[in-house]
Structure 1
Amino acid sequence: MYIVIAGGGKIGYYLCKTLMPYKHRVVVIERQMELCQKISTQLNIPVINGDGTKLDDLSSAEVQRADIFIAVTGKDEDNLISCQLAKRSFGVRRTIARVNNPKNITVFERLGVDIAVSSTSIIADLIEQEVDYSGMKTLMKMKNGRIVLSEIIVKPDSPVCEKSLRDIGLPVDCVIVSIIRDEEVIIPNGYTVLRMGDLVIAVSSQHDQEELKNYFLK
């Protein structure tokens, strides 16, 4: 693939270094001449000394040929503008932006960025996945955190213990994917009764995860 990266700082540098073994053709746009020389010399890839928010510099990097455009500068506004120009002016189908402030993720997505990545949010999610709320644990988050895969242990004092799924009345945006009982994996239906010690795998919206916890945990 042909990949253009706006930003040659630490993230841009190591991103290039990671992509190179996969035989992608990578071009970098960087404002600081010193960083341009470092990347060009050490990684032996084309580097444009320019600004990813300028049409002329994007054109010099042949962004119109790019399969993916990635903006990883230290400024959220520059990353947003770069991605918008790549998509709207050069027709790039896939854009990825670094977001320093996690609150900007939703804004970026609404304004056309395909993937907005926040290292702060990633670290927070990793910590969240390691926390077991007395029987409920987040296994994975998808769709930028909007969909959550949860693992829940049915305890003796759980409100759902010895009840069938149809009698529990789960939240609308929640699906019980499977139940692990001893060594058996059960694909549940409405008549499936939850037993003490069952390990329940559920998919829910982020909003309904808290409500799901209230259903299962006392």
Structure 2
Amino acid sequence: MHIVIMGCGRVGSSLARRLDSLGHSVAVIDQNAEAFRRLGSDFRGDQVKGPGFDRETLVAAGIEKAEAFAAVSSGDNSNIISARVAREIFGVRRVVARIYDPKRAEVYERLGIPTVATVPWTADRLFSELMATQSEQVWRDPSGAIALARIAFDEAWVGRKLREFEEQTGLRAAFLNRFGQAVLPTESTVLQHGDALYALVAEERYTPCMDAAIRPPDSRS
């Protein structure tokens, strides 16, 4: 998939190289052309000079075909504005912004834009957020029979009860990450935009359960 990254500092360049190595199409935006040196000579993606919140710059970086966008420059305002432009103007589904001010970060989490703070959050968290359209196994028991995975689910599940999701997919919900906080699900828990769902699944049922999760819910339920 095509991913646009705004900011080519240590985090942005690390994220870009990792995504590029996995075969994704990547475009990196930075106002300082010298910053692109961090990408290395083997980087295959596009390098676009300009402000990341400028529409023409974003279009040059392929924002219109992008499935994910990361704003990781050194300025909160630039990251916030570019993330909102990517989400609200160009309709990019997966948007994540690096925010230094924790109060601002909380506000944008509530608006459905995952945020990444400076010290504890790294390129690993950004990578995880951008790849949230794909389920990712995060733990397996020693016998290999049970796995814990971050689950990618169809947007049509938003507003539906988690209990219905479990019944139709065969997954067992372990916890949600909502607005940066871990939440233990209950019988009445409803899936919301921005939820990161972690669930347990038997290894022999892993593939069919993941396939079921990315399908819309059965309207008869």
* TM-score, normalised via structure 1 length: 0.55
Aligned to 2:6: 6
Instruction: Structure 1: state its 5+ residue gaps.
Output: 124-139, 150-172, 174-218
Query: Does 1:116 find its partner at 2:151?
Result: no
Q: Does 1:143 align with 2:140?
A: no
Q: Is the 8 A contact 2:109 2:179 kept in 1?
A: no
- Could you list the per-position Cα deviations for residues 52-72 of structure 1 after superposition, in whole angstroms to 9, with x for gaps in the alignment? 011110111120100001100
Contact 1:36 1:49 in 2 (8 A): no
Aligned equivalent of 1:70: 70
Deviation at 1:77, TM superposition (A): 1.1
State which structure, 1 or 2, has the greater radius of gyration over its C-alpha atoms.
Answer: 1
Shift of 1:103: 2.0
**C-alpha displacement at 1:144, in angstroms?**
3.9
Structure 2 CA distance, aligned partners of 1:111 and 1:148? 18
Unaligned 5+ segments in structure 2 are: 123-174, 190-221
The CA distance in 2 between the partners of 1:110 and 1:51, in whole Å, is 26
What is residue 21 of structure 1 aligned with on the other side?
A: 21
Partner of 1:104: 104
| CA RMSD of superposed structures (Å) | 2.7
Structure 1 residue 39: Cα displacement: 2.8
Shift of 1:122: 4.5
- Give me the whole-angstrom Cα distance separating, in 2, the residues matched to 1:57 and 1:112: 24
- How many residues matched? 135
Q: How far apart, CA to CA, are the structure 1 residues paired with 2:21 and 2:36?
A: 20
User: Are the aligned partners of 2:17 and 2:39 in contact in 1 as well (CA < 8 Å)?
Assistant: no
- Shift in Å, 1:41: 3.4
Paired residues of 1:48 and 1:60 also in contact (CA < 8 A)? yes
Query: After TM superposition, what 4+ stretches of structure 1 lie above 4 angstroms from structure 2?
Result: none
Q: How does the TM-score come out when normalised to structure 2? A: 0.54
Relative to structure 1, the CA distance from residue 42 to residue 31 in structure 2 (aligned partners, 3 Å threshold; closer, same or farther) is: farther
Q: The residue matched to 1:41 in structure 2 has which SS?
A: coil
